[in-house]
Chain A
Amino acid sequence: MIPLAGLLVGILAGLYFDVSVPLELQPYLPIAIVAALDAVFGGIRAVIEGIFNDKVFVVSFIANVLIAAFIVFLGDQLGVGSQLSTAVIVVLGIRIFTNVATIRRHIFHA
């Protein structure tokens, strides 16, 4: 319940404060979100499997977001930004799907 409340608090805070992203950071926002989603689903799966660890979660969350943004930034500098974003999304997307599938099996036993 607490993680769900956290998500709600985050959404409400975003709506309330109406933070705007600086123009230079805008291309990295979607990638950062996918990376954060990957870390969060990984963490939830770890909780369910009983091996959750605060430090691993925090480090993986921050590292995921930064590395994903950095890869896209590098791609932008090299002129292949959209291709590298696709690569990041494919890799993280596969991980998200597999982790969510495992969570689903744990919860519904199906």
Chain B
Amino acid sequence: MSLLNDLFAKPLDPGYEDAAARRRAAGERPTSERTWRSPALALGLVALGLLLTMAVLQVRNTASVVSSERQGLIEQIHNEDARVSRLQGEVSALEAEVGELESDLLQNSAAGQQTREEVESLQATTGAIAVTGPGVVVTVDDAEEQEAQDGTDRVLDLDLRMVVNGLWAAGAEAVAINGQRITPLTAIRSAQDVIQINYRPMSAPYEVSAIGDPRSLARDFGDGSGGEWLRRTATSSGVRFDVSSDESLTLPAGNTPLSYAVPGEGAP
């Protein structure tokens, strides 16, 4: 404690006292006349001002460098996002072209005609081509007033998975969320609090469109596991949802590229 006591009791450098005492002992005044004009004090203050300015400028420069770096990263993310979208559009266009060429080739013969219809129905089932038909739209949205810090009043990837499963169980023939077709390769997952479907980030409200019998689909969905899940989530966390029938829905094609899986059973 004595160290701290010293600190409080004698904050002034003891050197000043000692020097003054020495001068008094030598019979001089304890200090020279021109104290305020002491060049040492002025120099010390010049140094202090210099140090202060240097530190302030340094902090400012660092802050601007950090923020510009951050801005650059954000820009890069947007650019890459746009690139991915463009490439996905390119892939869809090329796939459509391939489909057209295939059907042109197959149209020439009766057997080809039959093969073409078969291929198209298979593509519709797997989500490789766009489909149109009557169905229902289930809209799921975050709670109106978001208070929970842990995000429990937001729509979770689990909720969307339950809705999609419920729609399949109720007899849906094709499902898409916010324009992303659910294909055999689709993952509905959340990364960093953002729901990703087909590896594309989505935001609320989520429109789950499903093609199927417009009357029985809505009813069976409401009675089934999907509707039950939504009602339970709505009461517990305030997530809003709405089910409506639609006479004509168009679901876009999804990407179903296979690199390793080849058709057939045995080794070639």
Contact = CB atoms under 8 A, between A and B. Distances in A.
Given A60-B15, A95-B11, A99-B12, A7 B36 contact: no
Contact of A6 (B20, B43, B54, B57): B43
B8 interface: yes
Interface in B131-185: none
Interface in B20-57: 20, 30-31, 35-55, 57
B40 A10 contact: no
B47 A61 contact: yes
A107 interface: no
Nearest to A56: B15
Interface string A4-41: 11111111111100111100001001101100110110
Contacts of A79: none
A55 B58 contact: no
A16 to B, nearest CB: 9
Interface residues of A, number: 53
Given A50-B31, A52-B31, A10 B47 contact: yes
B16 A3 contact: no
A14 B54 contact: yes
Given A33-B55, A56-B19, A10 B45 contact: yes
Interface of A: 1-15, 18-21, 26, 29-30, 32-33, 36-37, 39-40, 42-47, 49-61, 91, 94-95, 98-99, 102
6 contacts: A3-B42, A10-B48, A32-B51, A33-B51, A54-B40, A54-B41
